[in-house]
Amino acid sequence: MKIVILDGYCLNPGDLSWDGFKELGDCVIYDYTDASEVLQRAKDADVLITNKTVISGDMIRNLPRLKYIGVLATGYNVVDIAAAADCNITVTNIPAYGTDSVAQMTFAHILNILHRIDHYTQENQEGKWQKEGNFCYWDTPLMELAGKKIGIVGMGNTGKAVGRIAKAFGMIVYAYTSGDISSLPSGTIKANLEVLFKECDIVTLHCPLTPDTQGFINKKLLNLMKPTAILINTARGQLINEADLAEALNNNVLYAAGVDVLSTEPPTNDNPLLHARNCFITPHIAWATLEARKRLMKQAENNLKAFLNGNYLNKVN
């Protein structure tokens, strides 16, 4: 059996092992694969493993040996799963491997905005504290979380983890979710989007990208936010209309935004968020802690082992 890993570098830049896959068949590993290279590299594959390399319906229909596609992520929109089903090809994903890491990054962004550690470190390296002549100084707003309202959009595994952390900080937790209120953690306030954006001091996104949610964070919702409010996105970049968010930040409609994801990755130079006021951007690394990547690797191996044994784990089509 031939296994082809199309873009293994992000998961494993050298600090993990592919041995689990190598034990299952003849395994060929590519760091990256351009769209123009997929068919040539995958032509003899029984198994394809992808992270962000797109596997289209046309590609699938031109790979007659292919039996299995494993996605090294939770989102599987890079694969035409309908075409895969038509061709009797199993597609799997990796759910929940990064819950704690993404929740942690959510609060890393929040705490960075509230306390600006890097800003003050840089200023002090340049002598600002020494020149102040006082035992302390600050030139950004400083806020504490206790008593603040946080609105969580999407209450899956990550949303619930964020809610637990928020409660530990003494925050009041609002949630926008399709689930019944009985499914929410005790003390969580279920709200519609308008109420959540209007009432909350911090809004954080943890919902999937669907046709209904693409670009749904737009001018209408942003204009409901407090001028002191913060928006966090560690979910999917396409959830946000980036031009609307940049305009809102630049016009003081809200105070700040922290995002780990953008609509196009890597971003184009003209992405309006790159130079928006108080927009703090990390390069899609919330998922990438060593611990989360180890869990992802092990689950990807287990998904494939189950398939080879005639069973299914995390099948999405």
Separation between Cα atoms, residue 239 and residue 69, nearest integer Å: 26
Separation between Cα atoms, residue 38 and residue 56, nearest integer Å: 10
For residue 67, how many other CB atoms are within 10 A of its CB? 16
Catalytic site residue from 37, 144, 194, 265:
265
Q: Which of helix, strand or coil describes residue 39?
A: helix
Among the listed residues 108, 116, 95, the one whose alpha carbon sits nearest the alpha carbon of residue 286: 108
Q: Is 265 a catalytic residue?
A: yes
User: Please, which residues bridge with residue 256 across strands?
Assistant: 230
Q: Is 37 a catalytic residue?
A: no
How many Å from the N-terminal Cα to the C-terminal Cα in the chain?
22
Catalytic site residue from 206, 236, 293, 295:
236
Q: Is 119 a catalytic residue?
A: no
Catalytic site residue from 41, 247, 284, 301:
284
Separation between Cα atoms, residue 234 and residue 38, nearest integer Å: 29
Q: Which residue has the tokens 């690394």?
A: 285
User: Please, which residues bridge with residue 205 across strands?
Assistant: 153, 233
Active site residues: 236, 265, 284
